[in-house]
Structure 1
Amino acid sequence: MDFQISNCNNIDFGLIHIEENCLNIKYAANGTGKTTIANALDAIDKKEELKELVPYKYRDNIPIESEHLPAVTCNCGTPSIAIFNEKYVDEFLFVGDELIKGSFDIFIKTPDYDLHMTEIQKLMNDIQIAFANDPEIEKLFSELTAFVEGCGKAQKGYSKASILGKGLGKGNKIENVPEELAEYKSFIQGENNINWIAWQGKGRDFIDENDRCPYCATAIDEKRKELTKKVGEEYDSKSAQNLLKMVDLLRSMEDFFSDATKRMLCILISNTSGFTKEQELFIGEVRKEVESLRDRLIEIRAINFSKLKDAKCVTDVLNDKKIDLSYLIHLDTEYTAARIATINGAIEKVLEKATLLQAEIGKQRATIKRTIEKNREEINSFLENAGYKYHVEIEENIETYRLVLKSNEGAHISNVKSRLSYGERNAFALVLFMYSQLKENADLIILDDPISSFDKNKKYAIIAMLFRGEHSFRGRTVMMLTHDFDPIVDLIHEPSIRKRFAPPPNGYFLWNNNGELQEKKILPDDVCSFYQLAEKIISGETDEINKLVYWRRQLEACGEKGVIWDIVSSLLHGREYPIRRKGNEEVRLTAEEFEEGVLQIRAKFPAFDYQRIYERISDPATLIELYHNTTCGYEKVQLYRLIDSELKKNPIIKKYVDESYHVENDCLFQLNPEKYEIVPNYIVEFCNNGVDLIAQGI
């Protein structure tokens, strides 16, 4: 899998190779563009997100020329990509008390779960078919629901603030038009009565402005004004709309109700002055029966594994779901009974398969239990090995499941995000990301600098969790971008650890050369201790000054800071006479100490001559020539340290040279600096510019 990246932040051009079905570690210094690589690959098919990666040097050019627009291509089309970064953590993890969104899909919904669920659904499918294949049942359900909602939510079953109360609570004044408004009857009862009432109400607001009709502008007397106001007092469009809605609904539901109930509802529909207390009680009774039947239908339609999984006897649960209409006296009609018979018949069909259903539910429960235990044990084993004082539980929550965190004392951890340290959150996040992506099965998984903040033990525990177990990224195509060298040492160099991972990971070194991103594969032998590296270079053809630079660091790394180190260090510090430090005091070596030290040095460097080498080191022209003749960034930095006696004026660069690539660096392993550009380009450029300035002054 090969990607080409162009014009993305600090990367003008770069090629990234990713070996498929294994872990690819991309090691690079900060500032190389690791996050840019991750974001660019993630946005390969997202034009708007790619636009956000326009290099700063082109952002002032509006419009941006086409050749400067960000672009990412892949030799295998457009692979699906999952990326672990801060954005993923913010969107999916540590929401409230739950560790990750979608815990059910991630930790419970396995292929075995789906297989059993399919079988369970087949056994219960008669119920769903009954609802789906009989439109009269759907009509029954929807109109029962409309009636319940129309009566409102009052405890007694009827609310004056409900649609029914607002529409008919003061009488059916559309059917019973007041005598004084008889001349408006054709409008009030016409097909467009709602629109007419609304129009009438708008004009009423202007009726007292003058003696003209607000509708036709003709002269109007006080009697006509009062009549017009009366229409507005008796009618408003919203109430009229509610009235017609409930009347239509009740007439549509006539077949649902018994004859006695139907007669009473007809009286209520046609009432002239509003409901009496007895009528309100009657409406409440009917509403409660309607709601009861509606809720039973909801229960039956919702019968599933979750509703049956805890039942000791499925037969008892199903029998309890059958509807006995004889106790719903307002709804006990032939029409309603026919609909309910269909539903009860479907339940009977399922009851015929109750034994098989009970067995399948038992299998599913066992599957869920095994899955929960397996996932819980895997995560908790990781937490224990990594030294975290927490454990996880997968808890059932109504009809689903969620992953929660507990202390080892058993206390539930609420508001997880604020309770965990940054490192703890990151460790959990990586593991949870792995579980979620095992479900998604992306073509490429990207981990953007995931483990740099951890100590060595936690790093390895996380890597092992992510790439060694049966339930891990093992065999998936993964790119891990990091500035941490430990994974390279452990997974690429160290054979005893590397062999634990199958397939073995690949390592690559990335560097950014003025916008050109380059990479080179890291082989196991490319990683070595500084002692091995120094021995190799000292025995090679490089200049004696470079050899002494490596040897001094080798001596210090081995703890051999005796007379040999004093002589070599004094020489590289440009001292005419070798000294040793005693606290803050400098003491010149005696002639005997110097002679003994030189004899020991000549055992390794036969041509060693302090005075001759001192004269070379003291000559800027010699050092500058040597600087230009080497292509190794590490050697350039050390030579620049000898050339620029004013380096202390730039404390940041001095710290970098002295502590990151000098004797104070106690890193046991590293890449060969003659093969890999381990010194960042900006440091080398700083040294180049400094050397050029010094050369001009010679």
Structure 2
Amino acid sequence: MNSYNIEIECCNSIEKAEITIAKGALNIKYGPNGLGKSTIARAIVAAVANDGGLDNLKPFKYRAFPGQHDPVVRGVENIGSVLVFDDSYVSQFAFQRDEVLKNSFDIFIKTETFNVAMQEIESLLAGIKSTFDGNDALSSAISDLKELRDAFGVTKAGALSKSSKGYKAFGSGNKIENIPVQLKPFEAFIKSEQPASWIAWQTKGNAFLDLSDNCPYCASDLREPEKKDTAKQVAKEYDSKAIEHLNTLQAVINRLGKYFENDCRENLEKITKSKIELSPEETNFLSALRGDVETLLAKLEGLRSISFFALRDVEKIEDEIAKLKIDLSLLEKLNSTDTKSVVDPINEKLEELVGRVGELKGKINQHKRQIERSIVENQKSINGFLNSAGYKYSVVIKPESDSYKMKLVHNDYDEHIESASQHLSYGERNAFALVLFMHQVLSEKPGLAVLDDPVSSFDKTKKFAILNELFRGKASLRDTTVLMLTHDIEPAIDVIRSVKRLFQHPKPTAYFLSSKNGTVTETEIKEADIQTFAQICAENVRSLSDEVIQCIYLRRHFEILNDLGEEYNYLANLLHARPNPIRKTASGDVSMTTEEVSRAVVGVKAFIPNFDYSAILSVINDKSEMKRRFQNAGVGYDKLQLFRIYKEVHQPADDGDDILQKFVNESFHIENEYVMQLNPHKFDNVPEYAVQECERVISAP
């Protein structure tokens, strides 16, 4: 199958819709606002995701009937995945604080080529990493060593910090091992598994000792002063936080014991069980031990995290790898048999890597060059668009610790912009985000990319420039299945009329969407359907039989051609129901002369041979006849123009319909100014709700 034939039922305002999406091509679906284009997009996305989101689209009128009229989407089973560009994409994914597009590394750098190169480099480093993989004992030891290192903080001068957890725990002696005589009755509590919790609880209770002679804990008699003093002595001797640190560190030291050299282990045990304050020699010993631990940890962490990113910016990779070798003879406090049993296998794997360092260097340098090419290509592509669009911004892809991120910079400012959405205009954000979206689609290769009204906010030049950027050239969406939903006719016109210039392969399609009573259908827009409005007006004057509607189109024909002479003026008088035609001048209204009227009649009859001013005026002045002609008109555009005339002639007073009148006048009269358009008799782009509102007003008694 070369296309997806999609059926949608019972989704928001859509009772039924059928659309076709050609695979590997741009599919433009053009239709008026309010038709349900965004619902089509949401329905497809929800059906493909199959995550229950389709239920949220059930029309409100059916929500009181569970199990009936549930949303249904058919024909999307083989799409696979969908990416959508809409307002939420701009707000959720584009212009993040630390990168211009969320997951920019995955989108711009992490290509198949990148992944293959990373696998080749990782295979060379696999030997070292294998010594860590699944080694729970080593992982636990590293975790304990980190806790020990962090507990014994040092000052800038390298001395043991008195504010560190370790010093607070052992600095004044080990008071768990050395309980004061008067507190011996509490020994079971002080030496429990969680002495800090008990001490905190006991200390809080002291606040109630003076309320009574009874113990606040057990209500026994405490009239003897020494009993209360003993209870208060716990808080004086013990700080719950210091005891908590002591208890935790003692457990860590016990677990790490086998990794300490014998003399070190003995000295550490003496220090941690000492009764008195740490001596200078003991603090020096702890500082030196911390230094050895810090060095060993740095080596182990460097080996465990060795990767392309760790070696990416290293000038001499062979020297960096050689520095990772662990020499236990220089870490005498950790030079134990157990430490050696851990370190030796790692050093052996490191030696194997040193033997292949030339191959590793080659792979890393080759990978770096490939990444640099990707960076240059992506920056060039996006910055070329930004420059051609006149935006004073550019993007740069910068290395991070373990990735790359695309940043936004202003041409007058070197630092990247964190709050890009605050500096870019609405149009700039949308245009820029569209280009970023294109790159995300190229990276993720979804089965379908949906553009929900992407370019309607841009002027004509930028619309074409963006379409050109999105769908022309190698790095574009030209071979991607794209569904563009829009209420703007210009993209369809540009694409269909400029297909040979804008698209090389494959040929895009454009369809007009219309809705009647909730049923959405589509009609293909072909190149022959795109005409100037003057052509459309002339064609409809020739083909239609209703003389009022003929005059409406003929007047627009002269207006579009800027031929505002006697014919145009004569028809304008008729459609304003003036029995005596006038000319508007700077000094006021002046009646048209007999000669002017005669010339105007000749000009009009060249298009409408049976033209009769008086007969058509009678029709316009006949309220019921105008109602009948409005009801008989089969095209929304004709209905709106007849409604304008009817309102002016038969309901001129303000009756609360000024908003509708403004919509009719501006949207389908004054602003109907595109050079190229579709004939409304084949492509009725007037929203159904607007026609229904006109019918309500004109049918009022």
Query: Structure 2-normalised TM-score?
Result: 0.89
Q: Does residue 587 in structure 1 map to residue 552 in structure 2?
A: no
Worse-superposed segment, 480-489 or 248-257: 248-257
Residues in 2 aligned to 1:398 and 1:196: alpha-carbon distance in whole angstroms: 45
Q: What are the within-5 Å matches in structure 2 for residues 203-222 of structure 1?
A: 203-220=205-222, 221-222=224-225
Residues in 2 aligned to 1:377 and 1:70: alpha-carbon distance in whole angstroms: 48
Name the aligned partner's letter for residue 675 of structure 2. Answer: L
The percent of aligned pairs where both chains have the same amino acid is: 36
Q: Evaluate the alpha carbon distance shift between residue 596 and residue 270 of structure 1 in structure 2; reply closer, same or farther with a 3 A threshold.
A: closer
Q: Evaluate the alpha carbon distance shift between residue 218 and residue 496 of structure 1 in structure 2; reply closer, same or farther with a 3 A threshold.
A: closer
Shift of 1:54: 6.2
1:581 aligns to what SS in structure 2? strand
Q: Does residue 76 in structure 1 map to residue 76 in structure 2?
A: yes
Residues in 2 aligned to 1:394 and 1:372: alpha-carbon distance in whole angstroms: 6
Q: Does residue 330 in structure 1 map to residue 333 in structure 2?
A: yes
Q: What's 2:540 paired with? A: 537
Q: Evaluate the alpha carbon distance shift between residue 327 and residue 47 of structure 1 in structure 2; reply closer, same or farther with a 3 A threshold.
A: closer
2:407 aligns to what SS in structure 1? strand
Q: Does residue 340 in structure 1 map to residue 347 in structure 2?
A: no
Name the aligned partner's letter for residue 177 of structure 1. Answer: I
Residues in 1 aligned to 2:466 and 2:229: alpha-carbon distance in whole angstroms: 84
Name the aligned partner's letter for residue 234 of structure 1. Answer: E
Name the aligned partner's letter for residue 669 of structure 2. Answer: H
Q: What's 1:34 paired with? A: 37
Name the aligned partner's letter for residue 112 of structure 1. Answer: T
Asked if the contact 1:157–1:285 (Cα under 8 Å) also holds between the matched residues in 2, the reply is no
2:333 aligns to what SS in structure 1? coil
Shift of 1:175: 2.0
Q: What's 1:575 paired with? A: 578
Q: Evaluate the alpha carbon distance shift between residue 46 and residue 171 of structure 1 in structure 2; reply closer, same or farther with a 3 A threshold.
A: farther
Q: Does residue 642 in structure 1 map to residue 645 in structure 2?
A: yes
Q: Evaluate the alpha carbon distance shift between residue 662 and residue 168 of structure 1 in structure 2; reply closer, same or farther with a 3 A threshold.
A: closer
Q: Does residue 87 in structure 1 map to residue 88 in structure 2?
A: yes
Residues in 2 aligned to 1:280 and 1:120: alpha-carbon distance in whole angstroms: 44
Q: Evaluate the alpha carbon distance shift between residue 243 and residue 423 of structure 1 in structure 2; reply closer, same or farther with a 3 A threshold.
A: same
Worse-superposed segment, 158-167 or 112-121: 158-167
2:326 aligns to what SS in structure 1? coil
Name the aligned partner's letter for residue 670 of structure 1. Answer: Q
Name the aligned partner's letter for residue 556 of structure 1. Answer: E
Name the aligned partner's letter for residue 182 of structure 2. Answer: E
Q: What's 1:421 paired with? A: 425
Q: Does residue 65 in structure 1 map to residue 62 in structure 2?
A: no
Task: String of CA shifts for 1:477-498, please: whole Å, max 9, x gaps.
Answer: 2222222111011113445446
Q: What's 1:446 paired with? A: 450
Q: Evaluate the alpha carbon distance shift between residue 267 and residue 543 of structure 1 in structure 2; reply closer, same or farther with a 3 A threshold.
A: same
Q: Evaluate the alpha carbon distance shift between residue 195 and residue 611 of structure 1 in structure 2; reply closer, same or farther with a 3 A threshold.
A: closer
Shift of 1:119: 0.3
Shift of 1:294: 0.9
Q: Evaluate the alpha carbon distance shift between residue 615 and residue 297 of structure 1 in structure 2; reply closer, same or farther with a 3 A threshold.
A: same
Asked if the contact 1:494–1:524 (Cα under 8 Å) also holds between the matched residues in 2, the reply is no
Q: How many residues align?
A: 689
Worse-superposed segment, 364-373 or 133-142: 133-142
Task: String of CA shifts for 1:380-404, please: whole Å, max 9, x gaps.
Answer: 2222332323332222234432222
Shift of 1:355: 1.4
Provide the aligned C-alpha RMSD in A.
Answer: 3.0
1:355 aligns to what SS in structure 2? helix
Q: What's 1:473 paired with? A: 477
Query: Structure 1-normalised TM-score?
Result: 0.90
1:132 aligns to what SS in structure 2? coil
Worse-superposed segment, 399-408 or 510-519: 510-519
Shift of 1:114: 0.7
Q: What's 1:178 paired with? A: 180
Shift of 1:7: 5.4
Name the aligned partner's letter for residue 267 of structure 1. Answer: K
Q: What's 1:400 paired with? A: 403
Asked if the contact 1:445–1:478 (Cα under 8 Å) also holds between the matched residues in 2, the reply is yes
Shift of 1:558: 1.4
Residues in 1 aligned to 2:176 and 2:298: alpha-carbon distance in whole angstroms: 33
Asked if the contact 1:641–1:647 (Cα under 8 Å) also holds between the matched residues in 2, the reply is no
Q: Which runs of 5+ in 2 are unaligned?
A: none
Task: String of CA shifts for 1:99-143, please: whole Å, max 9, x gaps.
Answer: 122222111111111111100010111110122265554344233
Q: What's 2:262 paired with? A: 259
Q: What's 2:507 paired with? A: 504
Shift of 1:533: 1.7
Name the aligned partner's letter for residue 667 of structure 1. Answer: Y
Worse-superposed segment, 348-357 or 675-684: 675-684
Residues in 1 aligned to 2:400 and 2:624: alpha-carbon distance in whole angstroms: 77
Shift of 1:664: 6.4
Residues in 2 aligned to 1:578 and 1:399: alpha-carbon distance in whole angstroms: 80
Task: String of CA shifts for 1:40-60, please: whole Å, max 9, x gaps.
Answer: 4444457786666565668xx
Task: String of CA shifts for 1:590-624, please: whole Å, max 9, x gaps.
Answer: 22332333334333333233333333333334333
Worse-superposed segment, 616-625 or 188-197: 188-197
Worse-superposed segment, 167-176 or 354-363: 167-176
Shift of 1:445: 2.1
2:95 aligns to what SS in structure 1? strand
2:211 aligns to what SS in structure 1? coil
Asked if the contact 2:10–2:72 (Cα under 8 Å) also holds between the matched residues in 1, the reply is no
Q: What's 1:96 paired with? A: 97
Q: What's 1:122 paired with? A: 123
Shift of 1:87: 2.1
Task: String of CA shifts for 1:555-580, please: whole Å, max 9, x gaps.
Answer: 12112222222333322222223333
Asked if the contact 1:99–1:405 (Cα under 8 Å) also holds between the matched residues in 2, the reply is yes
Q: Does residue 457 in structure 1 map to residue 461 in structure 2?
A: yes
Residues in 2 aligned to 1:153 and 1:521: alpha-carbon distance in whole angstroms: 77
Q: Evaluate the alpha carbon distance shift between residue 625 and residue 119 of structure 1 in structure 2; reply closer, same or farther with a 3 A threshold.
A: same
Residues in 2 aligned to 1:144 and 1:692: alpha-carbon distance in whole angstroms: 86
Q: Does residue 142 in structure 1 map to residue 149 in structure 2?
A: no
Asked if the contact 2:541–2:607 (Cα under 8 Å) also holds between the matched residues in 1, the reply is no
Residues in 1 aligned to 2:628 and 2:462: alpha-carbon distance in whole angstroms: 47
